[in-house]
C-alpha cells in the first residue's frame, strides 16, 4: 500500500537552495569534529551554532584562530557547504547537521555521506547532495577563489549551478522526494497509520500485547 503525499504547506517544500558557498576539505570528517560530544549535554537544541567544528576553529588556548572557513569573513552568510568523502561518519548525533544548520548551512554538496548523517539531514529538511570528486574539487576551488560567487543547488533537477555553469549532483531519491513534497518530518505522517501499525505488530510472534 502506498499513501498519497499530504498537502504540505509550501514553506516545508525544499526545491532549491541558493546563496554562496563555503568549503571544508578532507575525507572522513567525523561527527566528533563537527560537534564534540561535550556539547551534546543539553536537553534543548539551543546554542548549537557556536559549537560547529568547535575544536578545529580554536587554538590551544581555546581562542578562535580565524583560519577555519566558518570564521573567515568572506564566508559569513554562506548556505552551501562543499565537502569531500564520507562526511559525517561516526555517531548518530543529530546535533551535527543541526549545528551546521544553525551556522547557516542549508545544503551540503559532497563526494559521499555517512548514512545516518544523511538521514539526519533529511529529518531537518536539509539537502545532502552527492557529486563526483572532480565536481566537488571544482566547487571547492570556486568558493575559495571567489567567495562572493553565487552557488545554487537545484533539488528537483539534481544539479548545482554557478557562474553560468551547470553540473550534475545526485540526491538520494527518498531525500529528494521528501524535500520536494515537504514531507521530511514524518512524525505525524506515520502516526496516521497507527491502526495498520498495530496490525503488523499483532502478527509478530514476539509482540505480546497490542491494545
Partner 1 sequence: MSDRTLYDKVWERHRVRELPNGQDQLFIGTHLIHEVTSPQPFAELRERGINVAFPERNVATTDHIIPTDPETRDDRPLADDSAEQMLSALEQNTEEAGITFYGLNSDRQGIAHVMGPDVGATQPGTTIVCGDSHTATHGAFGAVAFGIGTSQVRDVLASGCVAADKSDVRRVEVTGELPDGTVAKDVILRIIGDLGVDGGVGYAYEYGGPTIARMAMEGRMAVCNMSIEGGARVGYINPDETTYEYLRGREFVPEGQEFDERKTYWESVGSDDDAVYDDVVEVDVDGLAPMVTWGTTPGQVAPVDEPVPAPADLPADEREAAAAAQDHTQVTPGEPIAGHPIDVAFIGTCTNGRASDFRQAAAVVEDREVADDVRALAVPGSTTVKRTLEEEGVDRVFRDAGWEWREAGCSMCLAMNDDALRGDERCASSSNRNYVGRQGSKDGRTFLMSPAMVAAAAVEGAVADVREFDTGGALR
Give the footprint of partner 1 on this chain (CB under 8 A).
1-6, 26-28, 30, 32-33, 36-38, 40-45, 55, 60, 85-86, 89-95, 112, 114-116, 119-120, 123-124, 172-178, 181, 183, 185-191, 193-194, 196-197, 200-201, 203-207, 209-210
Strand order from edge to edge, sheet including 107-110: 21-23, 80-83, 107-110, 127-130
Q: What is the 3-state secondary structure (H, E, C) of 10-49?
A: HHHCCCEEEECEEECCCCCCEHHHHCCHHHHCCCCCCCHH
Q: How far is the CB of 74 from partner 1 (least distance, A)?
A: 25
Angle, CA of 35, 38 and 39, to the nearest 5°:
55
Closer CB to partner 1, 30 or 74, in the complex: 30
Tell me whether residue 75 or residue 93 sits nearer to partner 1 (CB atom): 93
For residue 47, the minimal CB distance to partner 1 (Å) is 12
Q: Cell 557547504 sits at which residue?
A: 81
Query: What backbone torsions phi and psi does residue 154 show, to the nearest 5 degrees?
Result: -95, 110
Which residue's CB is nearer to partner 1, number 2 or number 73? 2
Taking the complex as a whole, the smallest distance from the CB of residue 113 to partner 1 amounts, in Å, to 8
Amino acid at each position: 500500500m502506498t499513501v498519497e503525499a499530504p498537502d504540505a504547506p509550501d514553506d516545508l517544500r525544499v526545491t532549491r537552495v541558493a546563496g554562496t558557498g563555503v568549503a571544508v576539505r578532507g575525507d572522513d570528517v567525523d561527527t566528533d569534529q563537527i560537534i564534540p560530544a561535550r556539547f551534546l549535554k543539553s536537553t534543548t537544541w539551543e546554542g548549537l551554532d557556536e559549537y560547529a567544528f568547535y575544536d578545529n576553529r580554536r587554538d590551544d588556548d581555546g581562542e578562535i584562530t580565524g583560519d577555519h572557513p566558518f570564521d573567515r569573513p568572506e564566508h559569513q552568510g554562506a548556505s552551501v557547504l562543499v565537502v569531500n568523502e564520507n562526511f559525517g561518519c561516526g555517531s548518530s548525533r543529530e546535533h551535527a547537521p543541526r549545528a551546521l544548520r544553525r551556522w547557516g548551512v542549508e545544503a551540503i554538496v559532497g563526494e559521499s555521506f555517512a548514512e545516518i548523517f544523511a538521514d539526519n539531514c533529511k529529518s531537518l529538511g536539509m539537502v545532502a547532495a552527492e557529486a563526483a570528486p572532480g565536481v566537488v574539487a571544482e566547487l571547492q576551488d570556486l568558493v575559495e577563489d571567489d567567495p562572493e560567487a553565487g552557488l545554487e543547488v537545484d533539488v528537483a533537477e539534481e544539479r548545482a549551478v554557478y557562474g553560468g555553469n551547470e553540473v550534475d549532483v545526485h540526491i538520494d531519491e527518498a531525500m529528494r522526494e521528501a524535500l520536494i513534497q515537504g514531507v521530511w518530518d514524518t512524525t505525524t505522517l506515520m502516526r496516521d497509520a497507527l491502526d495498520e501499525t498495530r496490525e503488523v505488530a499483532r502478527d509478530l510472534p514476539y509482540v505480546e500485547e497490542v491494545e
